[in-house]
Structure 1
Amino acid sequence: MKAIYTIFGLMLFLALSSCENFLDVNDNPNNPQDAPISGLMTNATYETSLNVYAIGSITSNYVQYLASPNPAGASDVMEASNYSGLWFDLYNVMTDLTDLMQKAEEEDAGHYLGAGQILMALNLGMTVDVFGDVPYSEGFDFSSVTPTYDDDEALYSEVFSLLDQGIQNLSGTTSISLGDDDFIFNGEVSSWLKLGNMLKARFMLHTKGTTSYDAQAVLTALASGMTSNDDDATVIFFEQRFNPWAQVAINNESLLLGGWISTQFIEAMDGTSYATTDPRMPLMIGATDDGDYIGVINGAGRGNAPEQGARSTLIPGQFYTSEQSPLLIATYAEQKFIEAEVALESDPEAAYSAYLEGIEAHMDMLDVNDEDKMAYLNSPEVSMGSSALSLADIMKEKWVALFLHPETWNDARRFDYGYKDMTLPENLNGNLNGQFIRRLAYPDNEVSRNGNNVPDVTLLDRIWWDE
């Protein structure tokens, strides 16, 4: 059962949030300095979902879900943009989670502690995945305004430790039960345990190209993970606050342009790059007034609209863009594709079954009708059999199923952007030397304030698991 926001929930969030700007030495007298554990949980679950959105809104251009309507748009051409806002948002949540975990230990609230540790692992892991080395060991005690940066590989060990501790604490006793202050699972401890194991598998999969990778450990974690779409980790929005992707679609209708669809994504679904037309396309993106699906080439912009014609965009009212649509943190569909990739070498039959189940799970999420679903699943190009299933097949279907989700950028880097017909954007940032981007630049605020500790890297320097 997923938590649904209410007006009371919004008031609680606004009243009790203890969120502090990372390393902000100025106290705000209008914010409470000692928020209760319940308020911290409300804020952390809500803001974590927005962090997933924020990263996805950046990386969706890199993996060519979206494209800028303007030529040489910064995200399209992979410029070194300033993401100070994202940095602060991630650290604000982790600061609140530090307080939540401390209070949970003091109050013997084991389930709050466990959920907090899983959320900390998720936010820390996302931070490392986009920035690499980041402050952590000196990041939350505010003893220094110039904290040192921890090694990204070492921080991954902390991610796994937090997940293990979280699972252990959620499996034990507690003085206070989780409840409707948990905006992800509404206090369902069993769902938190499944999420913890699913996230272990997600982050372990990132290490596939390293010596620390253990395929059996991934499969073991998955065995205790999600079992259906009902287990998806989501935050559902309420009437007073729209899903942010819905706001992008609404803004676009008002000519505040955003959410334009990449040609690459449309051609992967409309029968161009693959022979089979995907019935999910009209449920995920908008058609032109003429009923056509026409994308924008990344980096090229839409051209002269009257001459070049209309383009497909995100439109209000679809699964991803309804005002109360859920923000997807982690899904059963993603888990099945993780299983398919991990099992591919050792057990092709199990991999093939998981691959098909992942497609079906996503189609069920979108309410694809049974006739269209079975026609797609039974098409020779999709239903190729276990002996012919390839990693490229799995990655393509996972790319579709994780539409707008930041995890796809991790996949793209692991897969060396090897999706069929995916090409470099036009007007590519010249500093990339004809290559795809591998990380985000450190924020300008951090460079100016903590420059002696900020690593000297370029957009081509790889995160530890991508080397």
Structure 2
Amino acid sequence: MKILNKILIALFVVGFATSCSDDYFDVNDSQNSPVSSTPPLSLPVAQKYTVDVLQGGYNSMNTLGNLWSYSWAAGGDYVYFTDETLYLVTSGFRTGIYENAYVLPLRNYDVIEKNTDPKYTNYVAIAKIMKSFHFQYLVDAYGDVPYSEALQGAANTTPVFDDANAIYDDLIVQLSAAQDLIANADASALVPGSGNDVMLHGDMAMWSKFANTLKLRILLRQSEKAGLVSQADFDAAVNNGIGFLGAGENILCNPGYLNDTNKQNPFYAAFGKTVAGDPAANANATRATDYAISKLSVDPRRAFIYKNVGTGTTYAGIAQNNVGGPNSASLSGIGPGVLSSASQDGVIMLAAESLFLQAEAASKGYIVGDAESFYNAGVQASFDYLGAGSAAGYLTSYPFPNSTAVNLEAIIYQKWVALIGINGFESWIEYRRTGFPADLPVAPNQTNSTVIPVRLLYPTSEYAANPDNVPTQSSGDAFTSKVFWQN
């Protein structure tokens, strides 16, 4: 509770983030003249913003991802999620995914990274890691974005758009630099306490493993397109003895969420209950898809990913855009393993995701290890996070195929299940990369496309503030103009 109170009263420390205009973040009196702060004050603020952008409310990345990876739909008695499921993707669609990433977490991490006091070496390393985390998602969603000239405040309000592939290459460099800072920090370097690092509580070895896991994700994201990465890239970047996130090593964030006004976990505040115990704004409208309920029909995790209907033991879903179809009361909502309490942790990366990355990398020969063991551990990690018990029986019925032709399909399917409700954005990205799950439906009753969108479009604000640099796009690009790593 004290941590969250400190965050809520902290000075939000930086000025102009990128080319976005002042009205996107109206906290300081002047965004062009930032007030002063210190890394210990700024870090928990930035980390809280990471949760808000990634997994927060209706406008979060997670919500959009769950709609575009066909995990969520609206009950038939709600006209809800219409732009998302009708694929009405324009420069005015979901602009916060772009704008908020720059204005909230990135500019706070950037100020920390620019601190030159040696005692804040570990804070600088954390900031580098988290900036890389956010920039990867910006590239994955938009392609070319402001990077080398971004976050300079009034010094440059019209940054260039860097090549997406070049950004990816530099993210590996930045993550390696962060690992070097951690490894070589001297005795004067402060280790963040639990109140200053509300993600990993100053465990710098874990921060280094998280950085290595992010590098693995960056490299694997490119691995389905010929010519982008090689064994040498993996050897140089991740086969370094640091290792990756393993079983039980979820990257979570909790600044002190509790059931009080403006202090609930933002995901719970949007989809769970109000402080008074009433359904939250999006709770009754948000329901399982018929596709997801069917796919999980013999999966014990279904009872934790989705709720049973009423007081019975049945589970039911609905097709997207089925206005007038089964009403919400007869359908399954978000389950107790995903949505548990006002004080639940925000999820940055699950151990299950890391283990599935390792399973894929081992299957392709990029890292040493047994792909089947990583796969089994990933499924068990998903069961563990959801509270679903042992996965042994499930794995007996649905074992790792150990066949090059279908290994990736099995891994990505399990990742899709593990991330339902938790990080749907990652599932949407992985579907674009791999085409799995192969039977993922295109939203019915929409007329804009026969495919799930392949990218987001730059927001209107960027065209207004930075017209000479923002790439020209048309509405059709959301369905045809692929990010560099897509086939």
Give me the TM-score of the superposition, normalised by structure 1.
0.87
Unaligned runs of 5+ in 2: none
Which one of 134, 158, 161 corresponds to residue 173 of structure 2?
Answer: 161
Provide the residue aligned with 2:111 in structure 1.
Answer: 99
**C-alpha distance after superposition, 1:298-338 (max 9, x if no partner):** 233462539xx7111115x5444422222221122111111
**C-alpha distance after superposition, 1:373-409 (max 9, x if no partner):** 3221211x33555688532111111111122312212
Provide the residue aligned with 1:361 in structure 2.
Answer: 381
**C-alpha distance after superposition, 1:102-135 (max 9, x if no partner):** 11x2345221111111011111111111111111
State the 1:455 CA deviation.
1.3
How many residues align? The count is: 446
State the 1:9 CA deviation.
3.6
Provide the residue aligned with 2:136 in structure 1.
Answer: 125
Which one of 149, 153, 157 corresponds to residue 145 of structure 1?
Answer: 157
The answer to whether the aligner puts 1:297 opposite 2:319 as a matched pair is: yes
Q: Give me the whole-angstrom Cα distance separating, in 2, the residues matched to 1:145 and 1:346.
A: 44
350 and 133 in structure 1: CA distance in 2 versus 1, 3 angstrom threshold: same
**C-alpha distance after superposition, 1:288-307 (max 9, x if no partner):** 1133211121233462539x
Provide the residue aligned with 2:294 in structure 1.
Answer: 267
SS at match of 1:260: strand
State the 1:224 CA deviation.
2.5
Provide the residue aligned with 1:329 in structure 2.
Answer: 348
Identical positions, percent: 21
215 and 267 in structure 1: CA distance in 2 versus 1, 3 angstrom threshold: farther
Q: Give me the whole-angstrom Cα distance separating, in 2, the residues matched to 1:84 and 1:387.
A: 40
10 and 132 in structure 1: CA distance in 2 versus 1, 3 angstrom threshold: farther
Q: Give me the whole-angstrom Cα distance separating, in 2, the residues matched to 1:344 and 1:231.
A: 22
Which one of 19, 33, 36 corresponds to residue 34 of structure 1?
Answer: 36
SS at match of 1:238: coil
Which one of 388, 395, 399 corresponds to residue 412 of structure 2?
Answer: 395
**C-alpha distance after superposition, 1:407-443 (max 9, x if no partner):** 2122110112x3143221112342x3x1221111111
The answer to whether the aligner puts 1:196 opposite 2:182 as a matched pair is: no
The answer to whether the aligner puts 1:17 opposite 2:40 as a matched pair is: no
The answer to whether the aligner puts 1:115 opposite 2:110 as a matched pair is: no
215 and 360 in structure 1: CA distance in 2 versus 1, 3 angstrom threshold: farther
**C-alpha distance after superposition, 1:326-369 (max 9, x if no partner):** 22211221111112222224499811221111101111222223
Which one of 229, 244, 259 corresponds to residue 213 of structure 1?
Answer: 229
SS at match of 1:465: coil
Provide the residue aligned with 1:76 in structure 2.
Answer: 85
Q: How does 1:251-262 map to 2 (within 5 A)?
A: 253=279, 256=282, 257-262=284-289
302 and 110 in structure 1: CA distance in 2 versus 1, 3 angstrom threshold: farther
User: How well do the aligned residues superpose, as a CA RMSD in angstroms?
Assistant: 2.7
State the 1:462 CA deviation.
0.8
Q: Give me the whole-angstrom Cα distance separating, in 2, the residues matched to 1:49 and 1:399.
A: 20
Of the structure 1 ranges 225-234 and 134-143, higher mean CA displacement relative to structure 2 is found in 225-234
Letter in 1 for 2:465: R
Give yes or no for contact 1:184–1:233 (8 Å, CA) kept in 2: yes
State the 1:78 CA deviation.
2.1
Give yes or no for contact 2:80–2:285 (8 Å, CA) kept in 1: no
Of the structure 1 ranges 357-366 and 77-86, higher mean CA displacement relative to structure 2 is found in 77-86
Which one of 460, 466, 476 corresponds to residue 444 of structure 1?
Answer: 460
Q: Give me the whole-angstrom Cα distance separating, in 2, the residues matched to 1:260 and 1:106.
A: 50
Which one of 324, 331, 337 corresponds to residue 311 of structure 1?
Answer: 331
Q: How does 1:383-422 map to 2 (within 5 A)?
A: 384=401, 390-404=407-421, 405=423, 406-416=425-435, 418-422=436-440
State the 1:12 CA deviation.
3.6
Which one of 221, 242, 253 corresponds to residue 224 of structure 1?
Answer: 242
The answer to whether the aligner puts 1:283 opposite 2:283 as a matched pair is: no
Of the structure 1 ranges 224-233 and 156-165, higher mean CA displacement relative to structure 2 is found in 224-233
Letter in 2 for 1:253: P
Give yes or no for contact 1:299–1:425 (8 Å, CA) kept in 2: yes
State the 1:171 CA deviation.
0.9
Provide the residue aligned with 1:274 in structure 2.
Answer: none
Provide the residue aligned with 1:273 in structure 2.
Answer: none
Q: Give me the whole-angstrom Cα distance separating, in 2, the residues matched to 1:48 and 1:243.
A: 12
Q: Give me the whole-angstrom Cα distance separating, in 1, the residues matched to 2:134 and 2:388.
A: 32
Q: Give me the whole-angstrom Cα distance separating, in 2, the residues matched to 1:455 and 1:383.
A: 43
The answer to whether the aligner puts 1:62 opposite 2:68 as a matched pair is: yes
